[in-house]
Amino acid sequence: MAIVDNAVYVDGVRTENPQSLNDTFERIRERRGMGWIGLYRPSPEEIRAVADEFGIHELVVEDALSGHQRAKLERYGDVLFMVLRPARYLDEREEVEFGEVHVLVGPDFVVTIRHAESPDLGRVRRRLEADPALLAHGPEAVLYAILDEVVDEYSPVLAGLENDIDEIEGQLFEEDADATQRIYDLGREVIDFQRATQPLTGMLEALLRGSEKYRVSEELQRYLRDVLDHTLRVSDKATTFRSVLDNALTVESTIVARRQNDEMRRMTELSIRQNDEVKKISGWAAILFAPTLVGTVYGMNFDHMPELHWALGYPMAVLLMVAMGVGLYAAFKRKGWL
C-alpha cells in the first residue's frame, strides 16, 4: 500500500485519520485542518491524484514519477517542492547508501513521497505529534522536522567515513600494504556524499530568505537556522574528508613509487652482480680454453707436424699455453672482468 500514514491536524493535534486520499482531500477542502499524506513508492495514478487535487505543476509530477533526482528546492506558486537525499553508511562494504524523499508543502497540506527506507518519517511524525506547539506552526514545521531528521542521519555516515579514513591513514605506512584502491573507492563515496549534502546549505538559506514573504514564524526560523548550522558542519567535514583522501592518495602514490624504485634498484643491483659474475666466469673460461686449444692442436696424430720432432717443441707448447693465459688474464683484468 502506497499510503503509509494519512492524517489531519488541527492546532498541532491529530484529529482525523482518513482512510483514503479522497477523504483527506475533502477534509482539507472544508478547511478542517492541515493534511499530512505520507506515500511510499506510490503509483503514477496516486501521484497524479494528489497533483490534480492540489494543483501541483506537471514538472513536479514528472520528477516525483521518475525519481533519482538531485537535492533541490523549487517553488511553484504557493507550493514548495523539495528533494532530499538521506544517507546511511554500510560499514562492512564501506559504501554510502542514498535514499530519496520528495516533500510537497502547500498552505494547508504536506505530501511526502519516499523512494527508499530512509529517512524514518514515522519517527518524524511521532516527534511532531508529541510536540503540538511545534506542529501547530503548520506545514513549515513538518518541513523543518524532515530536514532535521535527514541532517541528523548524516552524523553516523560521517562517523563511518571518519573511522575508515583513520584506518587508511594507519595502513599507509605498513609494509606490503597497497591502499590505493581503498582510498579511491572511499573518495568516490565522499564525493557522492558531498553531492547529496552540499545543496542543502543553499536550500536552507533560500527558505530563510523567504520566511517573511511566506509568513514563517520566528520560532521556526530559529529551528531552520539550527539545521543550517548542522548542515554547514556536515558540508565542512565532508570537504575535509575529501582533502584528507586526496592527500592520502598522493602519499600512497609516492610510497608505491618509492617501493617500485627500491625494487628496480634492487633488481638493477642484482643484475649488475650477475653480470659481473658472468664476466668472471666468461673470462676464466677463455683463459682455460687457451691452453686447451694448444693442447688440442698438438694432440692431433698428424704424420707431418715438425714441432713433434723438435727438441724445443714441448717447452714451446707450454710457454705458448702460459703466454696465452697470462695475456688473456691481463686483458680481462684491465677491462675489469676479473
Percent of the chain with pLDDT over 70: 93
Q: For 152-167, write each residue's pLDDT tens digit.
A: 999 999 999 999 988 8
* Radius of gyration for the alpha carbons in the chain, expressed in angstroms and rounded: 41
Identify the three-state secondary structure at position 311. Answer: coil
- For 242, residues 6+ apart whose C-beta sits below 8 A from its C-beta are 187, 190, 191, 194
For range 24-38, the mean pLDDT = 82
Domain 1-131 sits in CATH at 3.30.460.20
Q: For 169-205, write each residue's pLDDT tens digit.
A: 887 777 666 778 888 888 899 999 999 999 999 999 9
Q: How far apart are CA 230 and CA 89, in angstroms?
A: 18
Task: Give the model's pLDDT for residue 263.
Answer: 78
Query: Given a cut of 90, is residue 27 above it in pLDDT?
Result: no
Q: How far apart are CA 6 and CA 275, in angstroms?
A: 84
Better-scored residue on pLDDT, 307 or 12: 12
- For 53, residues 6+ apart whose C-beta sits below 8 A from its C-beta are 21, 25
Rounded to two decimals, what is the model's pTM? 0.75
* Reported confidence tier of residue 309, pLDDT bands at 50, 70, 90: low
Identify the three-state secondary structure at position 190. Answer: helix
Q: For 47-106, write each residue's pLDDT tens digit.
A: 888 888 888 888 888 888 877 788 999 998 889 999 999 999 888 888 899 999 999 999
Find out whether 76 and 5 touch, Cβ atoms under 8 Å: no
Q: Helix H segments across the chain? A: 21-29, 44-54, 58-66, 121-129, 132-135, 139-152, 154-171, 180-209, 218-298, 313-334
Q: How far apart are CA 105 and CA 142, in angstroms?
A: 9
Domain 272-334 sits in CATH at 1.20.58
Crossing angle for the helix pair 180-209 and 139-152, nearest 10 degrees? 160
DSSP 65-86: HH--PPSEEEEETTEEEEEE--
Q: Helix H segments across 100-217? A: 121-129, 132-135, 139-152, 154-171, 180-209
Task: Give the model's pLDDT for residue 190.
Answer: 92
Find out whether 100 and 40 touch, Cβ atoms under 8 Å: no
- For 145, residues 6+ apart whose C-beta sits below 8 A from its C-beta are 124, 127, 128, 134
- For 35, residues 6+ apart whose C-beta sits below 8 A from its C-beta are 6, 7, 8, 9, 18, 24, 25, 27, 28, 108, 109, 110
Identify the three-state secondary structure at position 111. Answer: strand
Q: For 207-259, write each residue's pLDDT tens digit.
A: 999 888 778 888 999 999 999 999 999 999 999 999 998 888 888 777 777 77
Beta-carbon count within 10 A of 15 CB: 12
- Residue spans of the domains in the chain: they are 1-131, 272-334
Query: Given a cut of 90, is residue 23 above it in pLDDT?
Result: no
Better-scored residue on pLDDT, 335 or 43: 43
Determine the residue type at 56.
Answer: I
- For 282, residues 6+ apart whose C-beta sits below 8 A from its C-beta are 337
